[in-house]
Structure 1
Amino acid sequence: MTRYLTMAALSAAMMLGGCATTGRAGRPATSTPGETVRVAVGPCFGFCPVYSVSVAPDGAVHFVGERHTAVLGARTTRVPAPVPSALVRDLARYRPATGDDVPVACTAAVSDTSAYSVTWTDAAGRKTVARVQDACPGGPGQGLVRLLRALPSRLGIADWTKQVTRPGVSRG
């Protein structure tokens, strides 16, 4: 019985680990030089901030606040050159194979929280997408959520993404 449980645990760990590093066809996940990374934060059941932010390789940051953010609409800023390459490096383990659109594994789904979508767009316009639900309690998705929650501070836009409830604006 113990041997069976050990084998089951090892199999599950290998499957979850594989979800973070390869696409559907098992191709290795690789970034291409010059990729732009876009993170979209979707609505939740409450008054969660809804926004998107993209980071270009040259450090250009484009923010669009859609709902429940301190800043509504588009804003741009710049970050030092090492920031985009460090971001791409930190996100690399969650990047699917080029062209794939896949969820990053979590141990359980929490459906009333914001959903994150991370899109890598290469110079040819090919998109690669990883999706994860906020509040992921375990598995590779938990690490990705940690990175994404820290992104506004890392990009110097934390004040723009702060949660704001405005009169007459509904939840979600």
Structure 2
Amino acid sequence: MMLRAFAAAALLAGLAACATPAPGAPPAAETLAISVGPCFGFCPVYSVEVKAGGQVVFVGERHTAVEGRREAQAPAGGYEAVARALAPFRPATGASEQTTCERQATDMSHYTVVWSAADGTQTTLNHDAGCMSAKNARLMEALKSAPARLGVADWVRRPE
């Protein structure tokens, strides 16, 4: 009887170890939201939210190809690719941070990235696209690639 209980405990421990995410991987129940605010001009204003399972909600507000709410499924690996690209810029869990500027161009779009955990904890990064530095250039690459990785790039593009 004792051996059977030990074997069951060992099996459960082994299964738990398999379910543990890799270091740097986003928690399985986390939602990632990116909001893009206006600039002085015709920059797209929208928000996109994606759950770990790939469910995407897009809301086009102004200067986007699609206005209003749309839902889709992100391409395979889309959520993970965006989460990995933004991971180096993520503040400590529960914190809210603003990126710092070495040089700044005015009248650029403002980005807000919110990581929401299943328990309601939110982690927020605010970034002004005019904040220029090598680190912020990498952040902008990650932010600008997110719509394509999530399958909503055609909804973001301004109509011609």
Shorter chain as denominator, the TM-score bin is 0.7 to 0.9
Once the two structures are TM-superposed, the CA of residue 82 in structure 1 deviates from its matched residue by 2.2
Q: Secondary structure of the residue that 1:159 maps to in structure 2?
A: helix
% identity of equivalent residues: 43
Whether contact under 8 Å (1:105, 1:139) holds in the other structure is no
Q: Tell me the secondary structure at the aligned position of residue 103 of structure 2.
A: coil
Instruction: Point out 4+ residue stretches in structure 1 off by more than 4 angstroms.
Output: none
In structure 2, the gaps of 5 or more residues are: 1-23
Distance change >3 Å, CA 121–CA 153, structure 1 → 2: same
Compute the displacement of 1:154 (Å): 1.5
Aligned to 1:70: 65
Cα deviations across residues 32-69 of structure 1 (Å, max 9, x unaligned)?
43211100000001111100001100000110001111
Find the counterpart in structure 2 of residue 128 from structure 1. Answer: 123
Task: Kindly report the root-mean-square deviation, in angstroms, between the aligned alpha carbons of the 2 structures.
Answer: 1.9
In structure 1, C-alpha distance between the alignment counterparts of 2:46 and 2:140, rounded to whole Å: 15
1:52 corresponds, among 30, 47, 55, to 47
Residue of structure 2 equivalent to 1:17 = none
Q: Distance in 1 between matches of 2:26 and 2:41?
A: 35
Instruction: Give, in whole Å, the separation in 1 of the partners of 2:143 and 2:29.
Output: 20
What's the offset of the Cα at 1:88?
1.3
1:41 matched to 2:36? The reply is yes
TM-score, length of structure 1 as denominator length: 0.73
SS at match of 1:89: helix
Listed as ranges, the gaps of 5+ residues in structure 1 are 1-28, 166-172
What is the TM-score when the length of structure 2 is the normalising length? 0.78
Q: Which has the larger radius of gyration?
A: 2
